[in-house]
Amino acid sequence: MRELVIVIADLYLEPEPAARTAAPPISGHGPDAGAAPGIQHLARFGDETTLPEGWRAWVARWLGLPQHACEPPASIAAAALADAPAAPADVPAARPGAPAARSDARAAFTGERADRAVWIATPMHLIAGLTSVHLDRRSVLRLSGAELAELTASFRDTFRGSGFDLDPLESGELLLSGPPQPASSTATEPARMLLTSIAEALPAGQGAPALRRLSSEIEMWLHDHPVNDARVRRGAAPVATLWLWGGGAPPAQRTAGARETAAAAFGSDAYVRGLWRLAGGESRPMPVDWAAMIGEPGAQRALGVVEVAELLHANTSWPLARALAEVDRRLISPALAALRRGELQRLVLLANDRSHIVRAADRWRLWRRLRTVRGALEALA
């Protein structure tokens, strides 16, 4: 394989204040030690570049689709619904006799409703404080296919006549479609919200008031919703809201056949799935053994998208450093080993609006300073 690109999609770090640069390194010998030799290697030997447009635009150009690099994430995600079933085939109806979910987003992409606007609707768990609500790295939720199907059917019944509709995405999120907006409205991506306040992250722009009203109505709809009742009973965090972001119009048409046939993509990210669909291909779920991507038959280039929040939800006692250490153990360090063996020519890590690119010969750059894990993470900040 010529190249492996690893995206940590939800890793955004606030730069350390100058007064804290002398803080002790992340170290130790317990399960939370946060040892990440692969990240340290990339930070020491790799070539670092800032990504002013973010990792999504980088991936679009890497795939050979520069015309889609600047399109909003929801516009690309809508492409994943084209010619797809309204809900996963193995997901039952939300309730007996419930009609199949309508897909305005799919109709918009195929040209039947070309004037529709779309937004990614990310399920969020908000933590109530004494005077305000806040969030942490576990606040972004990924719902099951059955939960998504029940919410889409319930939304259609509750918001009938509003002009808005929901479609399930295989990422565990939803796609909201609605009337065209008078002007674009922007909202902060959920993974970036730890760097700002919720008030500052809300939709802004001429079309924002309608989205804010809808968001308030969605919060009331979700309060005591059967989906949340079931989640609470099994000890899962309830869905407080659907965060609407990345809005825009669906792409006018596909770019079928543009994808390099030797490129493969892995992960459930809605943007990547839509981007590969626009290129005439299909992305796949991450394999159980993440490192298996490196030996993907016939693939000269591969892209893998992972999220630390997924690991944090599965391991409730883990801090961020432990989750990053797991990404390192399962994917980054094995990729570096393949690089040393000559099975891989180039490794790219995209995280926190930075790219780190390393090749096998780069390990001889011994004059570069060795960094602690904390220092390596700060290199991504």
- Sequence-distant (6+) residues with CB within 8 A of 32 are 317, 318, 319, 321, 322
pLDDT at residue 22, as a whole number: 35
What is the residue extent of each domain of the chain? 3-66+253-379, 72-248
Phi, psi angle pair for 203, to nearest 5°: -55, 140
Report the SS3 class of residue 156: helix
pLDDT recorded at residue 357: 92
- Which pLDDT belongs to residue 33? 45
Q: What is the pLDDT of residue 279?
A: 87
Q: Of the candidates 99, 103, 116, 108, which has an alpha carbon nearest to the alpha carbon of residue 153?
A: 99
- Position 107 scores a pLDDT of 52
- Least Cα distance to 221 among 174, 276, 283 occurs for 174
> pLDDT tens, 118-153?
999 999 998 876 566 778 899 999 999 999 999 999
What is the pTM assigned to this prediction?
0.84
**Would you call 138 exposed, middle or buried from its count of C-beta atoms within 10 A (0-12, 13-18, 19+)?**
middle
CA distance 162 to 250: 20
pLDDT of amino acid 311: 96
Q: Is 142 exposed, middle or buried (0-12, 13-18, 19+ CB in 10 A)?
A: middle
pLDDT along the chain (381 residues), means of 10: 94 62 37 69 85 95 92 90 50 39 49 73 84 82 96 96 92 91 72 76 75 92 96 95 88 53 86 91 92 87 95 94 94 94 93 89 56 54 49
- pLDDT tens, 317-368? 999 999 999 999 999 999 999 999 999 999 999 999 999 999 877 655 544 5
Query: Left if phi > 0, otherwise alpha if psi is -120 to 50, otherwise beta: which for 280?
Result: left
CA 206 to chain centre: 26
- Give the pLDDT confidence score for residue 28 in this predicted structure: 37
Cβ atoms of 94 and 230 closer than 8 Å: no
The separation between the first and the last C-alpha atoms of the chain, rounded to the nearest angstrom, is 29
Q: pLDDT value at position 171?
A: 94
CA distances from 311 to 10, 137, 235, 306, 376 (A): 12, 10, 17, 9, 20
Residue 131 pLDDT: 62
pLDDT reported for residue 97: 38
- Token pair of 72, please? 């909003």
